[in-house]
Structures are given as structure tokens and as C-alpha cells.
């Protein structure tokens, strides 16, 4: 039987509905032979004898005349020659056979954002814990999964995909090009001992980012290298969900019985995306709108999928920045595929991606000013007393000035709760656009050490803070060739305005050309280097001024004797107290906006003082311990911070030989201080010689003491002063 070969058609791509016609000189059909799924058709020779043309066109039940522009025409002798030369087959290029099928418009929509991702060590912990749980036998995994409710079955617990933490603050990408790629995927329900399972396992082996559980807690000072290459998870600026889950999924599929493997794969659509899909082809492109949204439409032929087949799309987003094209989101590289009817939000984590504006509108209407964020941490996460004056607050409670507050120190143990600030803090305020009309033109940010009552220390003078980047913000200038990033100095600081120094211009949207300019996202009004100031509680103050340098206070706020002179204007200071619908804001009826911050950059003290054999201390630099297998071993150590609740955790890990087994030595209070510097130690729990040696009768060992602090800089934990102490010894069983 003759065959029609459609060049460029993917293996899983449904065949278009085509037919081969015998037609007269006027292109009126004499006979029609439908082309089947394999390309076969039957056009009898006696029909060809009556035909003027042989035409390949869309299959239609009733057609009076074929259109020349919608058919491929051959004379009968040409048709016979093609079959003879092609061994009973006729090849048609994709560009031609696609034109034979009636076309319609297919469209997709979505949004693009530029986001900040979490610190690598947070992500590493999440991946490692996930991989560890998956390696545990299935029925035991439920008991170790605190995140899964006890009502779920064990199979349900292990089947939950690892979801990354929500991205930190995001802003719309308002300039760029979105390309759409399409492919066809077919999937039949997987069965026990399915031959596709080994192929999925092979693909996961290629994706695995980390095989070992990293040290916990990770110690970045001195910095540990990341336990994986970030580029293996973030591909082309997009997060690869399959790679994120690969260690867990691979460990699970290797350990699960065949009866569970099929259900595990069926519960994870992203595993199907790794295989059993056709090659992607670009089908359309479109431009981003000012709010980061897009709509892309293209011409396509009708799709009548075979059972268990469907079309899915991926996106590639590009920006032209300073004349250079940058791919800020590559869904093809990151295995990010979506159904046609989905309207996804594409999160770009590319360092060169350029977002616009503030990532949204102010959280409260009117002419208001409030602290919005410290780094990427929303300001409501700061625990601060109520302001009692323009530069003072009420007497602080035990956790005032800290971030991520908990009601008690006990409730925050082992969590980044009641955390101290540290490092360099980036401060962002909201000056809403109506404040511009109210005459608010300049701002000044200062810090003062606080006493126990929440007032400035007697005799203290404020230290004024400058914006990052040398006191400059950046604006985006849009043109026909893309966008340019232009630096804008924030006013006149530190020169004097009306006798006031250290004033900076407030960057309002109204100061830009709305047709061609936009502020870049993720910009801050002040930078606070906490390492340059003593540890403790400090007062953070914001003052605002008019164009003449006159200090302003909110409308309805009376002047207070003894405070700097100020003029009343129609605006309000607010404190963001809690998120919600709407967010909860509290009035600050003073001539300044003041918060309390408590930072502490002191390092912790960690030291391994010695070992105990059978409860008795051992001595010597080089220790070779021997005894029966039941002999107990303990480690004497110090893990201490001057403020105990700022310690996140500490632990002891032992390592046997070279590339041998490792394990932990439990401690009594892993989230509290243990031992007192400089020489008073605490003792760990006991482990036996036999449990350390395993199958060996003697071996060398190393033991690591690690300690992590909660210290937070607004973007993540920085662990300044975290410690890792190492000791070595040998054991022989007698």
C-alpha cells in the first residue's frame, strides 16, 4: 500500500486528517482515499486513469472543488514516479503539510515576575531532609515526617513532592519578549514492573544534585561551599522542580517495592515530563505588558488527540538590557511545562533579570509613610514596642527588636524565631504618591542606642544612614531597542537644606516620565551596617522634610515641647502590624517614625575539650582508646552564645575512617547553651565503641562540633561567628 510520509511529525504527535484525491482538470474530486495513522492510503489504478491531478489535501466528506492553495498537486505520471522512486512512499515537508489543514488561533496567557530565592543553605537542608526521608523504608517514613498529618497513609506521606519555599519578594517584569514552545506528550497509566520505570530512574540519576546529606547545621563562616551547584537547580533563571525533587524521588524509587513504584510515579506529573514527550517547537512569541502579563497567539491546525495524549507548552523569556539580550527564564531547560488552559506565573531568579517598581501597590491607601521591608523580610515580622515619641518607644519586652517573634523563648527553640538582626540591613519604606502632593520631599534615617525604658541613651547623638549604591537609585528607560538602567542620585545629601543635613530625595513615581521610565524593583532607602555599632537594642528613626528643609509631622499631631520644631502636613506615619485583608496598620502620631531593632553580631563559642571513656576523662593530644565493645564514649564540649536564645542549634557528628560511615552523638540540649567559656564543658550522651566501629575491630575517627546562630540580615541567616571544631582519635575493641 502506498504511504504518505509527513517529514517533521513527532512520534507522539497526532496525525493531521489528510486524504489523497483523484481530481479532474477543474479540481473536482473523482475519488478520495483517506490517509490512516501510519500514512497508508489506497487509490486504485483505474481511478488514476481518469484523473488529471492527484491531490493531497485535508480530508473532507463532501467537497465539490479542491482549492489550489490548499492542496499539493501532482499529475498522474509524476505521482507514479514519486511512488516508484520512494519505494511506494511520498514525502511531504512539515511546512507544506501543515498548510493543508484548516488553521485556527490558539492562545496562552500568564505573568512573569522577578523574585529573590532563599539562601542556598536553607534549600540544601530541605533537599537533604527530603532525600533522607525517601531513603527510609516506606512504612517507617510516615513516623519521621512531622509535616504530614497522622491521618495520612504512609504511601501518601512519601508521595508528597518537595515544594520549595515560597519565593521572597517579587516584582513584575514589565519589559521583555515571551517565546512559546509546544510539544505533544502521551502517557498511559503505569503498571507494576512497567518497563518505563527504569527509564525514569535513569533520568533521575542524571538530575541528582546532591547524594550526600550536607552538614547540619551548615557553617558559612568560614563559608562552607554549597553542597550543590545552584545552576543545577536554577536553569536559565527558572527553578527545575524535577531536579529539586530528584534526590528524594530517586531514593524512593530505588527503595520502594514494585507495587508502590507505579503509584509514586502517577502522583508526580513532573516525572512524566522527563520522558514520553515529543520534541518541542517554537509556535509563537509576544511582548510583556507593563504589569508583567502576556498573551501569545499563533495559528495552529485542529488537534484531535489520541487517547492519553495532550499538548503542553513551555516559555522562554528574554530581556534586552543595555543592548544585550539576556534569557531570564528558560522553561525548556528547567522542565517547566504547562497545559494550554493554564495561566502560569513564571518566576525568574536570574541575577540579571530586571523587575519594575515595588512589586505592587501600597498596602494602605492615602498619604501614608511606613516601614515596608528589611531586606526581603516584611516589616510586620519585626517585633517593636509602640512609639511614645518621635525618637523613642515604650519599654521593651523580652523579644522586642527581634524578627519572627514567638510568645516565649521556649516556643522559638530550634527555629529561626525570636531571631537577632546582624550584618548589613537594607531598609525600605513606602512613601505613597499622595505624600508628594502634601509637600513631603526629603527623608532622613537615623539610629540611636536605646536604654531599658525605650528612650535614647542619655547624651547619644544620632548616626544617619545613606542609601545603598552611593546614595543612588536606578530607573529603567524604555526604548525601541529594549531598556537601559540609569542611576539617579537621591537628592542633595549630605549637603545642607534649610540647615538640615543628611537629607535624601524621596523617589516618587511622579518624578519619572510615565511613558518611558520606571523605577527598578528591589531598591532601598537606607543601609544599616550593624557590625559598625555595638550589639544591643537600637532605635531606628525616620524623619521627613519639605523642599525647604522644614521638618514635617503628620496632620493632627500636636507639637511637643522639647522636640525639634516641625510643621503639620496632611500625611500619616503608620506601623505595619500584621498582614491580612486588609493589612493591619497602626497610627504613629509623632513627628518621626520609630522602630526598635536588636542586633547581635557576637560569635558563639564552640570547643571540644576532651573525651570520656566509661565516664572518666581521657588525656593527651593523641588518643588511642581501647576496651570492650560496650565501653561508652562521651565528648566534653562548649556550645555557647552570650544570649542563649540567639543560638539556633548545635550538634556532634562522628566520621569513621576515610569515606566511611558517619553518625551523630546526641547532646542533652541541642537548642540551648551547653558549657560555659572558657573551660567549663558539658558532656554529650554516650555511644558505645561497638556502635562506632560497626564491622571493624579498630579504626580512626573524627568528631565535629557545629553550632549555628539565628542571626538574620533580612535576606536570610548569615550565621556570623558560627563554629565548627574538629577532634580526632582512634578506637580498638578488645
708 has a pLDDT exceeding 80: yes
Residue 131 pLDDT more than 80? no
More confident of the two residues 699 and 103: 699
pLDDT at 150 over 80: no
| 673 compared with 184, residue with greater pLDDT | 673
Helix (H, G, I), strand (E, B) or coil at 367: coil
Contact 465, 446 (CB under 8 A): yes
258 Cβ contact partners less than 8 Å away, ≥ 6 residues apart = 192, 193
Cα–Cα nearest to 27, from 61, 52, 47, 49: 52
Residue found by looking up cell 543592548 in the block: 323
- Mean pLDDT is lowest, of 123-127, 265-269, 291-295, 672-676, for 123-127
The verdict on whether omega for the bond into residue 217 sits within 30 degrees of 0, i.e. cis, is yes
Residues 42, 1 contacting (CB under 8 angstroms): yes
Cell of 425: 540591613
Q: Helix 241-255 to helix 120-135 angle, to the nearest 10 degrees? A: 20
pLDDT band at 128 (very low <50, low <70, confident <90, very high): very low
| 639: number of Cβ within 10 Å | 29
> Largest alpha-carbon pair distance within the chain?
111
First-to-last alpha carbon distance for the chain, in angstroms, is 83
Is the pLDDT at 104 greater than 80? The verdict is no
CB atoms within 10 A of CB 304: 10
Cell numbers found for residue 667: 547532646
The conformation of residue 381, written as its DSSP 8-state character, comes to G
Q: Is the dihedral of CA 245, 249, 250, 255 positive or negative?
A: positive
Q: What is the dihedral of CA 18, 19, 20, 22, to 10 degrees?
A: -140
Strand stretches in 458-569, DSSP E: 463-465, 472-479, 482-489, 504-505, 517-519, 526-529, 536-545, 551-554, 567-569
Strand, helix or coil for residue 475: strand
Segment 714-718 mean pLDDT: 85
What is the average pLDDT across 202-229?
A: 51
Q: Cell 519589559 belongs to which residue?
A: 175
Q: 349, 237 in Cβ contact below 8 A?
A: yes
The answer to whether residues 237 and 319 touch, using CB atoms and an 8 Å cutoff, is: no
Whole-number pLDDT of residue 267:
80
Say whether 199 sits in a helix, a strand or coil. helix
**Residue 456 has what pLDDT?**
98
Q: 346 pLDDT band (50/70/90 cuts)?
A: very high
Which pLDDT does position 641 carry in this prediction?
A: 95
Q: Which residue is it, cell 500568564?
A: 110
Cell of 323: 543592548
**What pLDDT is stored for residue 305 in this prediction?**
62
Does residue 443 carry a pLDDT above 90?
yes
Is the pLDDT reported for residue 426 higher than 90?
yes
DSSP 83-121: HHHTTSEEEE-HHHHGGGSPPEEEEEEEEEEEEPPPPHH
What is the DSSP secondary structure assignment for residue 382, as one 8-state letter? B
Residue 14: the pLDDT is 67
Buried b (16+ CB within 10 A) or exposed e, 223-246: ebebbbeeeebbbbbbbbbbbbbb
Chain mean pLDDT for the chain = 85
Please tell me which residue, 192 or 355, carries the higher pLDDT value. 355
Instruction: Report the pLDDT averaged over residues 68-86.
Output: 88
Question: Can you tell me the distance from the alpha carbon of 20 to that of 33, in angstroms, rounded to the nearest whole number?
Answer: 5
- Is residue 493 scored above 80 in pLDDT? no
Q: What does the pLDDT read at residue 148?
A: 25
Peptide bond into 494 cis (omega under 30): yes
| Per-residue pLDDT band at 194 (split at 50, 70, 90) | confident
**Lowest mean pLDDT segment, chosen from 35-49, 296-310, 566-580:** 296-310
The answer to whether residues 33 and 20 touch, using CB atoms and an 8 Å cutoff, is: yes
Contact call for residues 357 and 372 (beta carbons, < 8 A): no
pLDDT band at 209 (very low <50, low <70, confident <90, very high): low
* Top-confidence residue, 420 or 248: 420
**Which of 250-259, 293-302, 451-460, 515-524 holds the top average pLDDT?**
451-460
Share of the chain above pLDDT 70, in %: 86
Domains of the chain and any CATH numbers: 3-102 (no CATH), 110-348 (no CATH), 368-599 (no CATH), 605-733 (2.60.40)
Q: Give per-residue pLDDT as tens, 365-379.
A: 999 999 999 998 999
Task: Write the pLDDT tens digit of every residue in 449-479.
Answer: 999 999 999 999 999 999 998 889 999 998 8
Helix (H) or strand (E) holding 708: strand 698-709
Q: What is the pLDDT of residue 666?
A: 95
Q: What is the dihedral of CA 683, 688, 694, 699, to 10 degrees?
A: 60
Listed range (151-165, 198-212, 312-326) with the worst mean pLDDT: 151-165
DSSP summary character for residue 168: S
Q: Give strand pairing partners of 369.
A: 431, 573
Residue 356 banded pLDDT, cuts 50, 70, 90: confident
Q: Span 68-77, mean pLDDT?
A: 90
Is 342's pLDDT higher than 50?
yes
Q: Look at residue 117 in the predicted model and tell me its pLDDT.
A: 60
Phi first, then psi, for residue 14 (nearest 5°) are -60, 145
Task: Read off the pLDDT of residues 504-519 as tens digits, 9 standing for 90 and up.
Answer: 999 999 889 888 899 9
Residue 524's pLDDT is 94
Q: Rounded to the nearest 5°, which phi and psi values hold at 382?
A: -85, 125
Give the model confidence (pLDDT) of 114-124 as tens digits: 987 654 434 44
* 224 — pLDDT class (breaks 50, 70, 90): very low
pLDDT grade for 637, boundaries at 50, 70 and 90: very high
- The cell numbers describing 647, all together, are 543560638
Q: Which of 541, 585, 547, 583 is nearest to 567 (CA)?
A: 547
Amino acid at each position: 500500500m502506498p504511504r504518505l510520509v509527513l517529514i517533521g511529525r513527532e512520534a507522539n504527535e497526532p496525525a493531521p486528517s489528510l486524504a489523497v484525491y483523484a481530481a479532474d482538470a477543474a479540481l473536482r474530486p473523482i475519488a478520495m482515499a483517506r490517509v490512516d495513522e501510519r500514512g497508508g492510503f489506497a487509490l486504485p489504478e483505474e481511478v488514476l486513469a481518469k484523473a488529471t491531478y492527484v491531490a493531497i489535501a485535508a480530508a473532507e466528506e463532501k467537497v465539490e472543488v479542491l482549492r489550489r492553495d490548499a492542496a499539493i498537486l501532482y499529475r498522474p505520471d509524476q505521482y507514479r514516479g514519486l511512488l516508484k522512486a520512494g519505494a511506494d512512499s511520498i514525502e511531504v515537508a512539515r511546512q507544506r503539510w501543515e498548510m493543508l489543514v484548516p488553521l485556527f488561533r490558539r492562545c496562552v496567557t500568564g505573568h512573569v515576575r522577578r523574585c529573590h530565592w532563599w539562601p542556598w543553605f536553607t534549600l540544601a537542608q530541605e533537599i537533604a531532609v527530603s532525600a533522607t526521608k525517601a531513603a527510609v523504608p516506606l512504612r517507617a517514613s510516615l513516623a519521621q515526617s512531622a509535616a504530614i498529618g497522622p491521618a495520612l497513609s504512609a504511601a501518601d506521606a512519601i508521595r508528597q513532592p518537595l515544594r520549595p519555599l515560597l519565593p521572597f519578594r517579587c516584582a513584575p517584569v514589565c519589559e521583555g519578549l515571551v517565546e512559546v514552545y509546544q510539544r505533544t506528550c502521551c502517557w498511559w497509566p503505569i503498571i507494576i514492573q512497567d518497563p518505563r520505570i527504569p527509564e525514569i530512574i535513569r533520568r533521575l540519576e542524571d538530575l541528582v544534585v546532591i547524594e550526600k546529606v550536607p552538614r547540619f547545621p551548615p557553617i558559612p563562616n568560614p563559608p562552607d561551599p554549597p553542597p550543590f551547584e545552584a545552576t543545577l537547580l536554577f536553569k536559565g533563571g527558572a527553578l527545575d522542580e524535577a531536579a529539586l525533587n530528584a534526590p528524594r524521588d530517586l531514593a524512593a524509587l530505588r527503595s520502594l517495592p514494585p507495587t508502590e513504584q507505579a503509584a509514586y510515579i502517577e502522583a508526580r506529573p513532573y516525572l512524566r515530563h522527563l520522558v514520553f514527550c515529543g520534541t518541542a517547537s517554537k509556535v509563537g512569541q509576544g511582548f510583556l505588558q507593563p504589569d508583567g502579563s502576556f498573551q501569545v497567539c499563533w495559528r495552529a491546525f485542529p488537534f484531535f488527540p489520541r487517547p492519553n495524549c495532550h499538548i503542553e507548552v513551555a516559555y522562554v523569556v528574554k530581556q534586552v538590557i543595555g543592548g544585550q539580550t539576556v534569557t531570564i527564564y528558560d522553561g525548556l531547560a528547567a522542565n517547566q511545562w504547562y497545559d494550554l488552559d493554564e495561566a502560569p506565573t513564571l518566576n525568574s531568579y536570574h541575577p540579571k533579570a530586571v523587575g519594575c517598581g515595588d512589586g505592587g501597590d501600597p498596602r494602605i491607601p492615602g498619604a501614608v509613610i511606613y516601614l515596608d521591608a528589611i531586606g526581603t523580610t516584611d516589616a510586620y515580622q519585626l517585633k517593636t514596642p509602640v512609639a511614645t515619641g518621635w525618637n523613642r518607644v515604650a519599654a521593651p519586652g523580652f523579644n522586642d527588636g527581634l524578627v519572627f517573634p514567638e510568645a516565649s523563648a521556649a516556643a522559638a527553640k530550634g527555629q529561626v524565631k525570636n531571631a537577632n538582626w546582624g550584618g548589613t540591613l537594607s531598609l525600605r519604606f513606602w512613601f505613597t504618591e499622595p505624600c508628594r502632593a502634601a509637600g513631603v520631599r526629603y527623608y532622613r534615617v537615623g539610629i540611636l542606642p536605646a536604654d531599658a525604658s525605650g528612650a535614647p541613651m542619655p547624651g547619644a547623638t544620632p548616626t544617619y544612614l545613606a542609601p545603598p549604591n552611593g546614595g543612588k537609585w536606578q530607573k529603567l528607560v524604555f526604548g525601541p531597542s529594549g531598556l537601559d538602567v540609569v542611576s539617579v542620585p537621591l537628592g542633595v545629601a549630605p549637603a545642607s537644606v534649610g540647615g538640615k543635613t543628611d537629607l535624601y530625595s524621596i523617589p516618587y513615581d511622579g518624578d519619572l516620565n510615565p511613558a518611558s521610565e520606571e523605577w527598578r524593583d528591589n531598591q532601598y532607602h537606607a543601609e544599616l551596617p550593624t557590625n559598625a555599632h555595638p550589639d544591643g537594642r537600637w532605635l531606628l528613626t525616620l524623619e521627613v522634610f519639605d523642599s525647604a528643609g522644614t521638618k514635617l509631622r503628620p496632620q493632627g499631631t500636636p507639637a511637643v515641647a522639647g522636640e525639634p520644631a516641625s510643621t503639620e502636613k496632611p500625611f500619616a506615619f503608620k506601623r505595619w502590624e500584621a498582614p491580612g485583608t486588609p493589612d493591619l496598620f497602626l497610627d504613629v502620631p509623632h513627628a518621626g517614625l520609630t522602630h526598635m531593632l536588636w542586633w547581635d553580631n557576637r560569635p558563639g563559642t564552640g570547643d571540644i575539650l576532651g573525651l570520656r571513656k566509661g565516664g572518666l576523662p581521657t588525656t593527651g593530644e593523641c588518643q588511642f582508646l581501647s576496651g570492650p565493645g560496650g565501653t561508652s564514649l562521651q565528648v566534653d564540649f562548649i556550645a555557647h552564645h552570650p544570649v542563649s536564645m540567639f543560638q539556633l542549634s548545635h550538634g556532634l557528628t562522628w566520621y569513621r575512617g576515610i569515606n566511611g560511615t558517619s553518625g551523630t552523638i546526641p547532646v542533652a540540649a541541642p537548642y540551648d547553651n551547653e558549657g560555659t567559656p572558657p573551660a567549663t564543658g558539658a558532656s554529650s550522651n554516650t555511644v558505645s565503641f561497638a556502635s562506632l566501629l560497626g564491622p571493624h575491630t579498630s579504626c580512626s575517627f573524627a568528631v565535629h562540633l557545629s553550632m549555628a546562630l539565628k542571626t538574620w540580615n533580612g535576606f536570610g541567616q548569615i550565621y556570623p561567628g558560627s563554629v565548627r571544631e574538629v577532634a580526632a582519635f582512634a578506637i580498638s575493641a578488645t
